[in-house]
Amino acid sequence: MRHLEETLGYTFHDRSLLENALTHSSYANENRFKGCQSNERLEFLGDSVLGMVTADYLFRTHPDLPEGDLTRTRAALVCEESLVEVAKAWGLGEYLRLGKGENAGGGRRRPSIQADAVEAVLAAVYLDGGIGSARKIIQKYILDRESEKARNRDYKTALQELVQRESGQVLQYRLTGSSGPDHAKIFTVEVDLNGATIGQGEGHSKKEAEQNAARAAIGHLEHP
């Protein structure tokens, strides 16, 4: 488990918390006579810790997003698929304590088990070192990674693919204005779908403004 601590960037004062976080109910049931407990209670706590840290991050970094968009973004960040990616980054599967049947049935690779264990580990860190320690891990492995994905995403291509699900759709980007001095000019672009404006964006270049307009348009079409 020391290698897992190195991956997390956190050393436990109470190693039993980490051990508990890695204990699946199947293992706990087989070792009940030893007083072994599963990670289910830690999973419950970790879900709340993760949700709170993520909500706080989104609230502070996206002051213009409405409540509905904040809720959907948080849900995407803390979903099972996202947590499985974290589990893989940690190599968490090899550390799990599983019952014989669950282990033989491929439990170490089961998405639900991996995702639950991630939440349990976050709770263990929270109990052992406080919210600041948990926040650092969540920031590194969930929030920063998602920010990097967003920066690298081609929203114009994504929007084109979205509207092409129906034939005869026409997208058009229009430069509607610019402001500021030449060395720090801000461009404003609107994107139209079949003549109706569905998104607007600003940027320090026309390309950046178009990407931001496409991003806004995707949000409009997916969550009208």
Residues acting as catalytic residues? 47, 119
Output phi, psi for 24, to 5 deg: -75, 155
The CA-atom distances, in angstroms, between 100 and each of 29, 74, 96, 111 are 11, 35, 12, 18
Residue 201's H or E segment, with its range, is strand 196-203
Is 208 annotated to bind a ligand? Reply is: no
Among 97, 141, 123, CA closest to 9: 141
Q: CB of 123 within 8 A of CB of 112?
A: no
In this structure, are residues 87 and 8 in contact, taking their beta carbons and an 8 Å threshold? no
Among left, alpha and beta (phi > 0; psi -120 to 50; other), residue 101 is alpha
Residue 210 marked as a ligand binder: no
Smallest Cα–Cα separation from 113: which of 40, 218, 182? 40
**Encoded tokens for 24:** 């699946």
- The reply, when asked if residue 43 is annotated as ligand binding, is yes
Instruction: Report the binding-site residues.
Output: 43, 116, 119
Instruction: Report the binding-site residues for Mg(2+).
Output: 43, 116, 119
